[in-house]
Amino acid sequence: MDFELTEEQQMVRDMARRFAEEQIKPRAAELDLKHEHPADIVKQMGELKLMGIAVPEEYGGGGMDNVSYVLALIEISKACAGTGTIMSVNNSLYCFPVMKYGTHEQKMKYLVPCASGEKIGCYGLTEANAGSDPASMRTSAVRDGNEWIINGEKKFITNGNVASYAVIAAVTAKGKGYKGISSFVVDLENTPGFRVGRVEEKLGINASGTAELIFEDARVPEDALLGNPEEGFKQMLTTLDGGRIGIAAQAVGIGRSVLEEALEYAKTREQFGKPISSFQAIQWKLADMATELDAAELLTLRAAWLEDNGKPYEKAAAMAKMYASDATMRASIEGIQILGGYGYCKEYPMERHMRDAKICQIYEGTNEIMRIVIARNLLKGS
């Protein structure tokens, strides 16, 4: 078993680390406070090929692998989880399904702008009554001549307030439940009948916008259909498997910041005449954090490696996402405990890390759903 990174993977990680430390980390607190979309940072990330890392170069991407994607996303999320979310959704939830299921013409039209970072993509699945249960989806698409008419509202869509393109899940065969869902790739800037609804005020990841997408008799061309009709649910599952690897990487990045900051504080904070790092209670907290975060990173890299090598990765992705997000949430709570009163104040970034960590247990499949996915795979022997 070889744990050594390739030269290219090391270069991608180191490049992302330098960029994150120099350009993102100094602005992370301000982006969080102002709920500001970091447009200039995202543009630079596009130039560095971080917005479409695993997309072939002919379609505007970096032509690299998913292990490189994980390594880069950890570094970006370590500096600012909200910026990491923007990168994750563009790569995993938008570029991936267009790349996997789109025609060459669709890829040239819809993939190149987002993989290159010129534009931003999003993924419209969740609705007010359809989160973990996509069969309850109400957004519909009806064929009308050489067009599709889309009606419905999507909820909690990451990048929805700034996206130019979206992959939208809609019901095209009523009464069939999840078997009646299809996927469409939509040019949001040029689709009459589409508008952005409410932009949410959130607990964390505030550099990343979360919005409603509203379609009212929105007309899209016939060739907006992604793949075959009524195959949207299968596409959705595969897309979310990859997305969960991205969320696991995001969680690991947040956790790495927590550990570094807790460790540095413990070395310098003195009580009873000596640094608190000398107390066993603090040492054990740090030891648990480090162990769990290393395990989370290894699970995440394994899932990415399985995807790169064409092996089944649904269970591995669910394990990585569940474990990494739980480990990072535990780490952030203990990080605040180590910093004490300072950890509870905005003078230090630790409270932001805890707010950012929580969403990783919820989006792209709650951790309760992850346990169902893992158990289902175990019971069928995979």
Pinpoint the alpha helices (H) of 170-275. Answer: 232-268
* Residue 52 one-letter amino acid: G
Q: In whole angstroms, what is the distance from residue 44 CA to residue 129 CA?
A: 37
42: number of CA atoms within 13 Å, CB side?
Answer: 27
Helices (H) and strands (E) in the chain, counts: 13, 10
Distance CA 66, CA 25 (A): 24
**According to the model, what pLDDT value does residue 17 have?**
98
Collect all residues with Cβ–Cβ distance below 8 Å to 64 and sequence separation of at least 6.
8, 9, 12, 49, 53, 54
CATH superfamily, region 122-232: Butyryl-CoA Dehydrogenase, subunit A, domain 2 (2.40.110.10)
CATH 1.20.140.10 is right for the domain spanning 240-379: yes
Q: What is the pLDDT of residue 178?
A: 87
pLDDT score at 341: 96
- Would you give the distance in Å from CA 171 to the centre of its chain? 25
Angle among Cα 106, 199, 321 to the nearest 5 degrees reads: 65
Q: What is the pLDDT along the chain (382 residues), one digit of tens a residue?
A: 688 999 999 999 999 999 999 999 999 999 999 999 999 999 999 999 999 999 999 999 999 999 999 999 999 999 999 999 999 999 999 999 999 999 999 999 999 999 999 999 999 999 998 888 888 899 999 999 999 999 999 999 999 999 999 999 999 999 898 899 999 999 999 999 999 999 999 999 999 999 999 999 999 999 999 999 999 999 999 999 999 999 999 999 999 999 999 999 999 999 999 999 999 999 999 999 999 999 999 999 999 999 999 999 999 999 999 999 999 999 999 999 999 999 999 999 999 999 999 999 999 999 999 999 999 999 998 7
Segment holding 226, helix H or strand E: strand 225-226
Q: Where are the beta strands (DSSP E) in 145-224?
A: 147-158, 165-171, 181-187, 194-199, 210-221
Write down the CATH superfamily of domain 7-119: Acyl-CoA dehydrogenase/oxidase, N-terminal domain (1.10.540.10)
Give residue 2's pLDDT. Answer: 81
Structural tokens at position 148? 């599709």
d(CA 87, CA 81): 10
Q: Are 219 and 43 in contact (CB under 8 A)?
A: no
What's the CA gap between 100 and 57, in Å, rounded?
15
Measured distance between the N- and C-terminal CA atoms of the chain, rounded to whole angstroms = 21
- Angle at alpha carbon of residue 164, lines to 161 and 169, rounded to 5°: 85
Tell me the β-bridge partners of 119. Answer: none
For the chain, which residues make up each domain, given as ranges?
7-119, 122-232, 240-379
Instruction: Single out the residue of 243, 147, 251, 172 nearest to residue 205, CA to CA.
Output: 251
Is the distance from CB of 184 to CB of 224 less than 8 angstroms? yes
Dist CA 232 CA 239 (whole Å): 10
Q: Of the candidates 142, 227, 133, which has an alpha carbon nearest to the alpha carbon of residue 185?
A: 227
Contact 106, 183 (CB under 8 A): no
Instruction: Assign residue 121 a region (left: φ > 0; alpha: ψ between -120 and 50; beta: otherwise).
Output: beta
Catalytically active residues are 364
